[in-house]
Amino acid sequence: MSEMTVLRHYQQEAVDAVHREWEEHSSTLLVAATGTGKTTIFSEIIRRAAPTRASNYAKADSSIELAWFQSNHATGDRGKAFQAW
């Protein structure tokens, strides 16, 4: 994340858990409750993994825009956001 962003302990645990899963599996799914900072967690996962591609699925337009903004801020990459119905 940016130098100003500090993950909460449960967010850091989630990021670490995803990376542990990737040691044995090619994909994983993170499920977290409303208000726990899923977009922040996703952005940190992207930043640490530095993938060439990443996907984040959201139902609301505002969630898609927030995920795009935070991911771009975390990685410095100006990726694209797509919406499909």
Domain boundaries, the chain: 9-75
Q: Between 61-75 and 38-49, two packed helices, what is the crossing angle to 10 degrees?
A: 40
| Residue 47 near residue 75, CB atoms below 8 Å | yes
The pTM assigned to this predicted structure is: 0.65
15-62 pLDDT, tens digit per residue, is 999 999 989 998 888 899 989 988 888 888 888 876 656 666 666 666
61-84 pLDDT, tens digit per residue, is 666 667 666 666 666 665 555 555
Q: What is the pLDDT of residue 21?
A: 92
Count of CB atoms situated within 10 Å of the CB of 61: 10
Residue in the block written with tokens 């990021």: 15
Residue in the block written with tokens 């940016």: 2
What is the chain's Cα-based Rg? 13
Q: What is the pLDDT of residue 7?
A: 94
* Banded model confidence at residue 9, pLDDT cuts 50, 70, 90: very high
